[in-house]
A and B are shown apart, each in its own frame.
Chain A
Amino acid sequence: MTTTATEIGRDRRRKEDQRLITGRTRWTDNMTLPGMLHLAMVRSPFAHARITSIDTSAAAAAPNVVSVVTGAELGEEMGVLINAWPITPDQVAPVHTPMAVDRATFAGEIVAVVVARSAAAARDAAELVDVEYDELPAALDLKEAAADTVLAHPDLGTNKSAYWVFDSAAAGTGGDVEEAIGTARADGIVIEREYRQQRLIPAFMEPRSVVVDPTGEQLTVWSATQIPHILRFAMAATLGIPESKLRVIAPDVGGGFGGKLQTTPEEWLAVVLARRLGKPVKFTETRSESLISGHHGRDQWQKLTLAATKDGTVTGLKVELLADLGSHVSLVGGGVPVLGAFMFNAIYKFPAYHFACQTVLTNKTWTDAYRGAGRPEATFAIERLMDELAAELGVDPLVVREQNWIKHEEFPFTTVAGLEYDSGNYEAATARAKELFGYDELRAEQQRRRDADDPVQLGIGISTFTEMCGLAPSRVLGQLDYGAGGWEHASVRMLATGKVEVITGASAHGQGHETAFSQIVADRLGVAFEDVEVLHGDTQIAAKGLDTYGSRSLVVGGEALVRAADKVIEKARPIAAHLLEASVEDLEFSGGTFSVRGTDAGMAIGEIATAVFAAHNLPDGVEPSLDSDATYDPVNFSFPHGTHLCAVEVDTETGRVRMRSYVCVDDVGNIINPLIVAGQVHGGLVQGIAQALWEEAVYDDSGTLVSGSFVDYLLPTAADTISFEIDHTTTPSTTNTLGTKGVGEAGTIASTPAVVNAVVDAVRHLGVHDIAMPCTPERVWRAIHMSSSAEGADQ
């Protein structure tokens, strides 16, 4: 089949931006239904406390209050939240009710709900709910919690939830890591480090919001979610509502970053109360509520042992993780570190690998997916270690990387973690990045500043990353005990006027699906970009789907779309032949037109659509329909990669880090819309740099989130970033028709280690080899100060 690529590869401005940027659109909170009631949550101020009594009488008597309910009162009616990824059969997990019943397990957990006729009345009355607590010792520190010193859930007897192991010797994908480490200890190099992945908050722009309408035969849920389909399934499974009676709509959704890949207490309570009261209800969280009760991300301790020969060839990597789940095992929270397990070996050819992760319950907000989910943690660890190995060897960190990475001619390559990387060209991306960055010149300047003992030192950070995208082959997910598949669905229907309606089971929340998918279909069918309408996010319209996360929409959903479009063309072909009075074999389809070879006769696909609608003159036995669908289950992940180079200036007098330049050359395969890719890369970079320099969710000793507002949780703005230089190499994925790989998480995954490597590189000659994230000025200054005051000592 011939397609004409006039749209793919084109910088299209996003068709959805006008409404998203102005906000004059279908945000959930913009919805008002007749007779709608409003919810306000009463939340525990304590990390761990027994609820001794709840007096709701004053709140219930307040003006315009309809109902006040507690967990004890709702009981089984409120259902439970599901954990879709129990990573081991013996995983320990507390029952996750949407509201505490007799014990609050983190500061922010819901203990009562007020229903009122206005949001203001609900909020006012919530202040009148009198809850008496008996405070209990809280499990807060991850390492202490892992030692069961204080129990987050005393009835469980332990905080240890699941222990998950991958071992290359046992799996038959590589050698024995202990042997490699033993050999390296005797005659080689062993690098041992411990890194902290601090707790982060997704901090999407649109707070979570849910509206439920129980009127009529069907219950309709609008939610600011990434996962309308999974939400529908989970609600049906736990709330006793037949799936067929439940319609979930994710209207326009303002960002998620994984933070809306969740089934939330607020959604459950809204459904339960709407059903109970027979009236529509709405709940929209405040920013403070979002920060304390929306799920958090990362929060791991990583203990790492890297073995290498004296010449710098890595012979093995051992990873021991502690991962903080927070108070409950949320939707896929337990599985986040498991996703990372396949990525610690990154782009390198390690012969032996061992990964073990202990997930741990604490009395903090539950954690789950956050942009990158498992892969940023893994990439950070290995890219920091490669720098440490280079420093130990006294060679350029790029040289050590090249010595160990998979060569272009070695693809496809099966890694020590058992994944088959289909394609990659690390040499090309690195060469281009070095050139754009001016690597050699910056190294020379760095040396000059060191020699001159300049108060401002220059550091160069490297991150040659890869990731696994396109989640995911359903069989692989099954092997990992994940509770669902990884396919995606698409429909393409030609309308009578020749316009095209496209339905995707992916659920955009800022990615630009409507634009990119229109470009794909426009090229495939040879119709105008403007003539394609992309529908998504409503289970009644997009009946099948597995939603958006893990950089999957284009790689998996895009392939489903291509297949559905191709089926439409094949359906049109015999009709075209009939109308053109030619044989099917003589037809060719190009630029949206079926033409008869060797003649001027031809017919546009839109004209065929009109003829199909009329159905006056169709071939015998052909149904009057020009639409089709496809459900695609990927055969493999995709593996974007890239080389990121970062230069920072460190003010040694204050510890302040200033970004100087940042170059990234990403290989995301073929690109549908370079403008969207640039936006994803820019946003991803800032989010990853923010982990390196700015963001951290901090709890105090009582379990209160200190960084509970944007005064203390430091989100960067455009004023804090620099102009990034981005470029691409293109090594198409071999596992999908479009040759795409996914780009939603690349910037976030790659940038964090690039920046921290740069900061450490700037002051390494002063005796520093690590600085905890975020690299605050105080931490950087203290690292330098402690090193210089302990001159000569081994830091």
Chain B
Amino acid sequence: MIPAPFSYVAPTSVDEALAALAEHGDDAKILAGGQSLLPVLRMRLNAPEWVIDLGRIDSLRGVRDAGDHLVIGAMTTHHDVLHDPLVAEHAALITAAATDLADAQVRHRGTFGGSLAHADPAGDLGAPVLALGASFVIAGPSGTRTVPGTEFFVDLFETAIGDDEILTEVHVPKHTGWGAHYEKFVRVAHQWPIVAVAAAVRVEGGTIEHARIGLTNMGSTPLRATAVEEALTGQPLTADAVRAAAQHAADGANPPSDLNGDASYRSHLACVLTARAVLAAGGADG
């Protein structure tokens, strides 16, 4: 498959990238890891005149400790996030979600920021990032701004990133010592999740003190299952209690219908998977 012709530029700094974006504006698409953009170009679903490749901007790669939160560079590959010890220690939910993200080849090319900026509601990273209360650093012509997760995801494939802006970092509050689990439901391994649930819990003496739960592919954006989080707080980590709380998982969701299942089936799955995710995160047997 051959994309329509386009011009290509590979800036080496965020400022250069912003300048290129300012120059080509509506006619440009940003290339991060290319795992979503290239198929779109090759199938000629989109034909930008310019492709701005962020792959040579070294400052956008890597994970660092910033005290109460981690800073994950937007161009850090899924593979590097998956194997990062800081992420594993302080944001284990992200490690869990990255484990089965697509396949090994995609994990080596695809990037953390690229996936989030693409904002596919079936993408694996939105739900855990949202659940952990991450914020997004966006660079634009007039400097940088920080957007909370609740405002970052706007709609299907739509985020708060403006046409002249670039996502540079994601700040993830530390959840050190929390149990985490990403329960992903697929028919074949390499598929986007039909539904997935990201759960992080802090359990003290058999009681759930805090729970953070994100839902993948249950609406036009990743969702936070706040009703379940509230219902779980103070509950014992038992199958019955967790299942009862999880019955609220699909409240307010608007899941899609497709070949893998209709909306009502997805809502049912969300409840079942939420219970499983919470129990697994808490270290209890299902």
Q: Which A residues are closer than 8 A to B by beta carbons?
A: 119-120, 123-124, 127, 286-288, 653-654, 656, 693-694, 696, 698, 706-707, 709, 711-712, 714-717, 719-720, 776-778, 781-782
Contact = CB atoms under 8 A, between A and B. Distances in A.
A714 B269 CA distance: 20
Nearest to B185: A654
Contact of B272 (A653, A707, A719, A782): A653
Interface string B166-209: 00000000000000000001011111101000000000000000
A14 B2 CA distance: 34
B188 A716 contact: yes
Given A654-B272, A776-B260, A781-B265, A714 B4 contact: no
A95 to B, nearest CB: 32
Nearest to A714: B188
Contacts of B194: 777
A654 B268 CA distance: 8
Contact of A124 (B4, B260, B265): B4
B187 A694 contact: yes
16 contacts: A120-B2, A127-B4, A286-B1, A653-B272, A654-B185, A654-B272, A694-B188, A711-B191, A711-B192, A714-B191, A717-B190, A719-B103, A719-B188, A776-B261, A777-B185, A777-B194
Interface string B262-286: 1001001100110000000000000
Given A654-B185, A654-B272, A717-B188, A782 B2 contact: no
Interface residues of B, number: 25
A776 B187 contact: yes
Given A656-B185, A719-B103, 20 more contacts: A119-B2, A124-B4, A124-B5, A288-B1, A654-B269, A654-B272, A654-B273, A694-B187, A698-B259, A707-B259, A709-B43, A711-B191, A714-B187, A714-B191, A716-B188, A717-B190, A719-B188, A720-B189, A777-B194, A778-B265
A778 B261 contact: yes
Interface of B: 1-2, 4-5, 43-44, 103, 185, 187-192, 194, 258-262, 265, 268-269, 272-273
A593 B1 CA distance: 56
Contacts of A715: 188
A212 B216 CA distance: 49
B261 A777 contact: yes
Most chain A CB inside 10 Å of its own CB: which residue of B1, B188, B194:
B188
A715 B103 CA distance: 14
A25 B22 CA distance: 46
A772 B273 CA distance: 25
A706 B259 contact: yes
B189 A717 contact: yes
A290 to B, nearest CB: 11
Contacts of B265: 778, 781-782
A504 B261 CA distance: 49
B192 A778 contact: no
A287 to B, nearest CB: 7
B263 to A, nearest CB: 11
Given A653-B272, A654-B272, A707-B259, A719 B2 contact: no
A124 B1 CA distance: 11
Nearest to A120: B2
B188 A720 contact: yes
Contacts of A656: 185
A715 B191 CA distance: 10
Nearest to B4: A124
B268 A719 contact: no
B4 A778 contact: no
Most chain B CB inside 10 Å of its own CB: which residue of A120, A123, A654, A694:
A654
A629 B78 CA distance: 59
B273 to A, nearest CB: 8
- Nearest 3 interchain pairs by C-beta: A719-B189, A778-B261, A286-B1
Nearest to B268: A781
Nearest to B273: A654
Given A706-B259, A781-B268, A123 B190 contact: no
A194 B260 CA distance: 23
A720 B188 CA distance: 6
A123 B2 contact: yes
A120 B42 CA distance: 11
Nearest to A712: B259
Contacts of A123: 2
A7 B120 CA distance: 55
Contacts of B269: 654
Contact of A287 (B1, B188, B189): B1
Contacts of B260: 776, 778
A782 B265 CA distance: 9
Contacts of A776: 187, 260-261
B40 to A, nearest CB: 12
Contacts of A693: 187
Contacts of B2: 119-120, 123-124
Nearest to A40: B2
Contacts of A694: 187-188
Contacts of B191: 711, 714
A719 B104 CA distance: 12
Contacts of A286: 1
A715 B189 CA distance: 10
Given A698-B259, A706-B259, A777 B188 contact: no
Contacts of A712: 258-259
B44 A127 contact: yes
Contacts of A781: 265, 268
A715 B187 CA distance: 10
A464 B268 CA distance: 37
B187 A777 contact: yes
A301 B75 CA distance: 51
B260 to A, nearest CB: 7
A731 to B, nearest CB: 37
Contacts of B103: 719
A238 B213 CA distance: 65
A244 B191 CA distance: 50
Contacts of B189: 717, 719-720
Contacts of B192: 711
Nearest to A719: B189
Contacts of A696: 259
A717 B103 CA distance: 11
A696 B269 CA distance: 22
A711 B120 CA distance: 14
Nearest to B5: A124
A720 B100 CA distance: 13
Contacts of A717: 188-190
A714 B268 CA distance: 23
Contacts of A778: 260-262, 265
A352 to B, nearest CB: 41
A712 B1 CA distance: 18
Nearest to B100: A719
A127 B103 CA distance: 33
Contacts of B258: 712
